[in-house]
């Protein structure tokens, strides 16, 4: 009997020991509803308007075309070589010229006014007419506007380009002539007995155009 009680006591102790060694299971995690994501507003980019067919190019992109009879800066436009057209020139180029009296070759002021933009000079009679008006160009652009002749030749163009546009030889290799035409009532100093001619003169340095002068002619000695 004592042996049975002893065995029973050992069995109970062993059972209690084993129970103490068994890890207590971790508590079940408390399940909560999934967090609701924060609302992020969608920002739509501002659309960039596409250019339309009627869009007008910036004024500075307009090409100034000079010829013997006048100038133009847009299709159908005309800029006259007169003192009365100063406002039109100012509006077309976007800047006003400086004005100065023109001095004669032997001293004294002439009845002419020089209207000057950097690299571009328009000389006009004081009486508002076009007689005796002239243009001198020594820059590829004026106030951002490219300057060319009717054949597309400007300062910086090459001799070959000018010849391809119809230019002919002048007095020597430093000059080419464009848009040559007769000037009735005059006599040529270079071609005795023939009517004089006027033209757009291209002055060259080597093979590059460095100045445009118009009108030039072969019947004046000054």
Q: Give tens-digit pLDDT for 94-141.
A: 999 999 999 998 889 999 999 999 999 999 999 999 999 999 999 999
| Confidence category of residue 74, pLDDT binned at 50, 70, 90 | confident
Q: Is residue 97 part of a domain?
A: yes
Per-residue model confidence (pLDDT) at position 10: 38
- The answer as to whether 64 is a domain residue is yes
| Predicted pLDDT of residue 61 | 59
Provide the pLDDT confidence category of residue 221 given band limits of 50, 70 and 90: confident
Residue 209 lies in a domain: yes
Domain contains 45: no
Count of domains for the chain? 1
Residue 96 lies in a domain: yes
Would residue 207 count as lying in a domain?
yes
Torsions phi, psi of 148, nearest 5? -140, 165
Is residue 30 very low, low, confident or very high in pLDDT (cuts 50, 70, 90)? very low
**For residues 172-191, average pLDDT:** 96
Encoded tokens for 75:
């299709």
For residue 189, is it within any domain? yes
Mean pLDDT (the chain, rounded): 81
CA-nearest of 50, 56, 115, 52 to 89 is 115
Domain that holds residue 76: 59-217
Does the pTM surpass 0.75? The reply is no
Specify the pLDDT at position 222: 62
Give a yes or no: residue 156 inside a domain. yes
pLDDT band with cut points at 50, 70 and 90 for residue 77: confident
């Amino acid at each position: 009997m004592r042996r049975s009680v002893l065995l029973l006591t050992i069995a109970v102790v062993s059972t209690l020991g084993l129970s103490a060694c068994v890890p207590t299971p971790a508590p079940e995690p408390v399940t909560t509803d999934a967090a609701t994501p924060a609302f992020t507003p969608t920002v739509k980019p501002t659309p960039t308007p596409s250019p339309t067919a009627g869009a007008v190019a910036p004024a500075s992109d307009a090409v100034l075309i000079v010829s013997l009879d006048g100038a133009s800066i847009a299709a159908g436009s005309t800029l006259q070589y007169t003192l009365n057209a100063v406002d039109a020139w100012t509006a077309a180029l976007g800047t006003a010229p400086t004005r100065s009296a023109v001095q004669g070759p032997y001293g004294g002021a002439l009845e002419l006014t020089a209207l000057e933009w950097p690299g571009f000079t328009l000389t006009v009679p004081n009486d508002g007419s076009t007689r005796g008006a002239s243009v001198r160009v020594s820059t590829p652009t004026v106030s951002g506007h490219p300057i060319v002749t009717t054949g597309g030749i400007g300062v910086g163009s090459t001799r070959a380009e000018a010849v391809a546009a119809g230019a002919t030889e002048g007095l020597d290799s430093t000059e080419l002539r464009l848009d040559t035409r007769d000037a009735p009532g005059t006599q040529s100093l270079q071609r005795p007995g023939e009517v004089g001619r006027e033209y757009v003169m291209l002055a060259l340095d080597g093979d590059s155009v460095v100045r445009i002068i118009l009108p030039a002619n072969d019947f004046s000695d000054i």
